[in-house]
Structure 1
Amino acid sequence: MRYLPLSDADRSAMLKVIGAGSVDELFRDVPEEARLQGPIRGLPMHASEMAVERKMRGMAAKNVAASDVPFFLGCGAYKHHIPASVDHIIQRGEFLTAYTPYQPEIAQGTLQVLFEFQTQVARLYGCEVANASMYDGSTACWEAVGMARRITRRKKAIISSGLHPHYVSVCKTMAKFTGDTLETAAPELTAQTDADRLIAAIDKDTSCVVVQYPDILGRITDLKPIADAAQAAGALLVVVNTEPVALGLIKSPGEMGADIVVGEGQSIGVGLQFGGPYVGLFATREKYVRQMPGRLAGETVDAEGKRGFVLTLSTREQHIRREKATSNICTNSGLCALAFSIHMTLLGEKGLTGLAKLNHARACEAADQLSAIPGVRLVNDSFFNEFALELPVEARPAVHAMVEKGVLGGVSLGRLYPDEAVLANGLVVAVTETATEEDISSLVSALQEIVQ
């Protein structure tokens, strides 16, 4: 039975009501080059279910899976070992099928999970309060900029050149509709971050300074001078973290004076999953809690004095008047947040520190061997498990050549910054606890053959 709910007359009537001349006009905000100009290439127009399955399996077999080869990709999504117990627990029916609680006090188990998750995120980030999660790190980053605007009543955000370009892109997209001004720049292949530039750019119109820690090149900087300069001017410091495992070793952003800390929680409990779904983390100072987007689960006691959990704060547009809402975020990444919380619980504080030490040690081993290749320069003075190299050849074709040798050898900066020719030879390499000595040797051998 075919499902064709609308006739041409229905479509014409609907377009007339909204004042659009055609369906294509509904997509005018999507860049022309991003729109499909016809059917998806490679897929059959008409076929049986079995034929489509066979075709899709054949296409999927062309992928190079992260678990099948030495893997050194990072830049915001990291391959870590996830204990089997995480997957087992999140597939329990009461968790897997649970939706956002509209009668929240009935769903005590769900609320308790969110409460524990918030506690873990707040402690990890060194903040007083955290929400029940966001969609992902990039949207959490934008929400932090919007929150800073509401608090300071200013509309200029100064964004570090070390912020992930995808996060910058999300902020630029949203700023078109809010009138925020974003001061951005591309990174340079140097050991120094742009902390001095950020401090010099702060003025009376600045709502916030946005810094990634560690940044897109893996560099780690002292956030305290930036926090002091921003706060002295009445602005906020927003810190973005895309690799939460790093916080098992390095100082938390909250310790260094950050006002809002956001990031991507994928590294803990959530697989790579071809880019999503992931889980955005969001924490802040208690005095700013009413401007925080998303939802907040709290602890209380019931009429009998027993411990219970409630939805303490929910300032999203589903719950209050649209003009009063802090965000249009309509749900949290509940199942991914649960996976994060389970994995974090299994690790504990000592386990997280141990995992972080192992990551750093493996990364140091790889950095030493790679930088010993003639013509290859290690950019970083400091890093956690991710660092940047400057190659004697263009990095993007070098990455493709390593794939042919069975190694996923890193992320080329030419891919992330196609308009920045000075970054074309830059390669970002991430080394986690999943990389063995043999994997590192394979990476070194593959890169050595390509650059010489």
Structure 2
Amino acid sequence: MTQPFVHPYIPNSDPAVRAEMLAAVGASSVEEFYADVPPELRVQGSLDLPPALVAEQDLERHLTSLLDRNRSTRERLSFLGAGTYNHHVPAVVDEVISRSEFLTAYAGEPYEDHGRFQALFEYESLMAELLNMDVVTVPTYDGFQASGTALSMAHRITGRGRVLVASDVTPDQLSKVTDYVRTSLELVPVATVDGTADVAAVRAALDDDVAAVWVQTPSFTGALEPALPALADAAHAAGALLVVTTDPIMLGAVAAPADAGADIVCGDIQSLGVHQWFGGGHGGFLAVHDDPRLVMELPSRLFGLASTDVPGEYGFGDVAYERTSFALREEGKEWVGTAAALWGIAAAVYLSLMGPRGMAELGETVLARTAYAAARLGRLPGVAVTDTAVHFRELLLDVAGTGRTAAELRDAARARDIEPGVVVGEHRLLVCVTEVTAQDDIDRLVTTLAEILQESAA
């Protein structure tokens, strides 16, 4: 008789353990848990897994060999962006968030540890000052979810079913948000002109079924949107909201969207003291004015300062808890789960270290280096920046005139230990620079691409 295989790292592969678990929940087989999943969507048969490594040292060696295939931005000159950015993270940020009282910051729990409540309150306060908004939530899962939530809020507030997408939104974000709101909202793209919003076209598309005008600034191509005030006026005149997705890293040098009339501002905090973590390390923010119509539609937790029963003592706790899914359960507007509280604490440490002057200097540095990169790359033979907008951190190159595809240029640069950017089309390359990208790094990229083009022409 063949003995059942018990995997050394999967306890419920033991038949006795599995039977005990099934009995505890009143199920006769694991298949009952998947009854709602159509059979054609299920994996048929067993997964194609390698044999189990029984000895711990063998497993460690195997996993190390897999991890060693990675090349980080510390080892290779990188101009990659498109949503995850190589900004400097001060050492003290890692030190603080590694403390045991913060490292498992599960939405601020446990309740008896109010130190995390205060840390997240400080995060909200610092973000509110940077964004020039009154109310900021604890972090959501990521900036993509924050954008989807912001548009869902606009739908609930206005009762309308369409959103005008007025800028070049990051494709991955557009895909995720579309999936997030598809049961209640239709996203209607309005073509941009020279990299920024076509205000006249947005005005023409506005009607009494538009819940919001959605703008991403900087856009996918790094273009800053100069027409936010005009877009806000047009949206408000039609009874719609202006929702702006932005990156707070730039707001020391660029006016906050709230100053231009934005109703809801959202985005990702990865650039504020959070490492790239191979594509992870994201947390979303939502910010609104102190307007009950807006505040009560926020599904995420808010921590506020409150007096206690002891005169002169204060504590930190939930604000308007009754609007969250924690209180409403299945009747909640949106589900709020684990979220990304630890990254909020990281952002708080980062912002407290930088201060207003530091954020201003950082924003000005990135703007200057982006302009320098655009000027130098745009002078390469056959290479052109795709628009004349002011750019922050990223710019899109058209390389059609070189006779080479963007993928060919990328591969040739990789062979020289440089990641030149993200390929976004046959002849389009998205290049990213940050404050850690030195002028010499940009010059090296330009020189390398020039050599590649000369070799191909020879």
1:231 aligns with 2:236: yes
Contact kept, 8 Å, 2:269 with 2:284, in 1: the verdict is yes
Distance in 1 between residues matched to 2:344 and 2:186, nearest whole Å = 32
Q: In structure 1, what is the equivalent of residue 185 of structure 2?
A: 180
Distance in 2 between residues matched to 1:251 and 1:329, nearest whole Å = 30
Distance in 2 between residues matched to 1:216 and 1:37, nearest whole Å = 41
Distance in 2 between residues matched to 1:305 and 1:144, nearest whole Å = 37
> 3-state DSSP class of the match of 2:419?
coil
Gaps of 5+ in 1: 29-34, 415-423
When residues 198 and 186 of structure 1 are mapped into structure 2, their CA distance, relative to the original with a 3 A threshold, is: closer
Distance in 2 between residues matched to 1:278 and 1:98, nearest whole Å = 15
Q: In structure 1, what is the equivalent of residue 414 of structure 2?
A: 403
Paired letter, 1:81: H
Paired letter, 2:397: L
147-156 vs 372-381, greater mean Cα deviation: 372-381
- Deviation (angstroms), 1:270: 0.2
Percent identical residues: 33
Under a length normalisation based on structure 2, what TM-score does the superposition of the two structures give? 0.86
Gaps of 5+ in 2: 1-5
Distance in 2 between residues matched to 1:124 and 1:37, nearest whole Å = 53
297-306 vs 222-231, greater mean Cα deviation: 297-306
> 3-state DSSP class of the match of 2:326?
coil
Distance in 2 between residues matched to 1:306 and 1:82, nearest whole Å = 34
Q: In structure 2, what is the equivalent of residue 327 of structure 1?
A: 334
Q: In structure 1, what is the equivalent of residue 297 of structure 2?
A: 291
Paired letter, 1:227: A
Paired letter, 2:432: A
1:253 aligns with 2:257: yes
Under a length normalisation based on structure 1, what TM-score does the superposition of the two structures give? 0.87
1:163 aligns with 2:197: no
Distance in 2 between residues matched to 1:376 and 1:195, nearest whole Å = 29
Q: In structure 2, what is the equivalent of residue 220 of structure 1?
A: 224
Q: In structure 2, what is the equivalent of residue 44 of structure 1?
A: 50
Contact kept, 8 Å, 2:164 with 2:190, in 1: the verdict is no
> 3-state DSSP class of the match of 2:204?
helix
Map 1:25-424 onto structure 2 (within 5 A).
27=41, 39=47, 44-47=50-53, 48-101=55-108, 104=111, 106-176=112-182, 178-184=183-189, 190-221=194-225, 222-241=227-246, 243-287=247-291, 288-303=294-309, 304-314=311-321, 315-323=323-331, 325-381=332-388, 382-392=390-400, 393-414=404-425, 424=426
Distance in 1 between residues matched to 2:191 and 2:278, nearest whole Å = 26
When residues 21 and 301 of structure 1 are mapped into structure 2, their CA distance, relative to the original with a 3 A threshold, is: closer
Distance in 2 between residues matched to 1:318 and 1:208, nearest whole Å = 27
Distance in 2 between residues matched to 1:75 and 1:18, nearest whole Å = 36
When residues 445 and 318 of structure 1 are mapped into structure 2, their CA distance, relative to the original with a 3 A threshold, is: same
> 3-state DSSP class of the match of 1:100?
coil
Contact kept, 8 Å, 1:122 with 1:128, in 2: the verdict is yes
Q: In structure 2, what is the equivalent of residue 31 of structure 1?
A: none
1:440 aligns with 2:439: no
Paired letter, 1:181: E
Contact kept, 8 Å, 1:72 with 1:431, in 2: the verdict is yes
When residues 63 and 316 of structure 1 are mapped into structure 2, their CA distance, relative to the original with a 3 A threshold, is: same
Distance in 2 between residues matched to 1:17 and 1:268, nearest whole Å = 41
Distance in 2 between residues matched to 1:17 and 1:426, nearest whole Å = 46
403-412 vs 298-307, greater mean Cα deviation: 298-307
Work out which of the two has the higher radius of gyration on C-alpha atoms and give 1 or 2.
Answer: 2
